[in-house]
Chain A
Amino acid sequence: MKSTNLYKGSLTTIILKLLNENDKMYGYEITQKVKEITKGELNITEGALYPSLHKLEAEGLLDVEFAKVNNRTRKYYKLTELGTQETVNKLAELEDYIRTMRALVNPKFRLQ
């Protein structure tokens, strides 16, 4: 995807959705998972990912835990109960948005 601005509004939803499916993930893993799922079409930048993760953590939607991996400490993110509820709301919002955009971009031709 050439324009990164297009996905920025949905970044929170993408993160919540991935964590909903994967129990716990760390920052780098999220960037790689998105790249893998979208076959390299969507590239989440570090400068966008971490502020979103930290915001979600501060809002109580994400919890964190740490593990020692290869001489270093890894910070994992996982959904809280509130985060799980919010994921449902955010996904519904995003689906509505996609539907609206589709109607705008590709309106069905009707004969009156």
Chain B
Amino acid sequence: MKTLSKNQIEELYVFTRKHYVEWYDVQTELVDHLANGIERQWEINSNISFKDALNAEFKKFGIFGFSELVENKQRALNKYYRSLVFKELKTYLRLPSFLFLIITVYAFKTLLSTIGYKAYVLAAIIVLMLAVSVCHMYRAKKAIRRRYANTGKKWLFDAAVMELGGFVHVSFLLIQVPNFDRFSMLQTGVGTLLVSTVVILYFMVFYISTRIVPKIIKENMKKRYQELYL
């Protein structure tokens, strides 16, 4: 049976990169799929050129090519990331850490109730959250670039870590908060309690998604994809 040479496999990697698949784990699966399809065509007619066979296989992915496939994989990985965050969060919502959470919320509420310029404090917190998110994204992007420079490979799970499974976009939605009700919620006790709970929970989720989950997801992926890492 006629099979693809090492150079042709390398050409397939270049082909996937040209079609906007930058993640090595996704590229590898696509390269094998395309190679299988090409070899199948050669079984029927060995005179078909490599390029013609490749184009015929690529057409099977539809008008959007590989982009839909990559988007869906990214979505699935982000969902997995979020599920890990919620799983970790649940452990903090049990005793005794739950008591610590209540104390923190209460302390924050007391602080918000006693100080003047509440709106400014909250605005400063939102700016801080945004700054931390931007800083996280910058550092994660730098890590992806560094790894690519060293190994020539980019991994999709690194992108999920960069986006915190999509949580990072929630931070950017916070820009809208001042437009909602101009902090009128802070005028009531219940409103202050609600805002305090949201802020503390947000910081918890952010801490879990930036400090705990990346370690878990990287370990899981290294274990699962160890053959690709070698």
Contact = CB atoms under 8 A, between A and B. Distances in A.
A51 B76 contact: yes
A-side interface size class: 20 to 34
Contacts, number: 78
Interface in A19-72: 26-29, 32, 45-47, 50-51, 54-55, 57-59, 63-67, 69-72
Contacts of B76: 51, 54-55, 57-59
Contacts of B207: none
A54 B72 contact: yes
B62 A45 contact: yes
A70 B3 contact: yes
B-side interface size class: 20 to 34
Given A50-B73, A58-B80, A63-B224, A27 B33 contact: yes
A7 B6 CA distance: 37
Nearest to B226: A66
Contacts of B31: 72-73
Contacts of B36: 26, 28-29
Given A65-B227, A66-B227, A75 B72 contact: no
B225 interface: yes
A54 B3 CA distance: 27
A8 interface: no
- The secondary-structure label for the interface of chain A is mixed
A69 B62 CA distance: 27
B145 interface: no
Nearest to A60: B80
A45 B57 CA distance: 11
B228 interface: yes
Contacts of A27: 29, 32-33
Contact of B28 (A57, A63, A75): A75
Interface of B: 3-6, 9, 28-29, 31-33, 35-37, 39-40, 60-62, 64, 68-69, 72-73, 76-77, 79-80, 224-225, 227-228
Interface of A: 26-29, 32, 45-47, 50-51, 54-55, 57-59, 63-67, 69-75
17 contacts: A27-B29, A28-B32, A32-B40, A45-B60, A47-B64, A47-B68, A50-B29, A55-B72, A55-B76, A58-B79, A65-B227, A66-B225, A70-B39, A72-B4, A72-B28, A73-B28, A75-B32
Which 3 pairs show the lowest CB-CB distances between chains A and B?
A51-B72, A66-B227, A28-B36
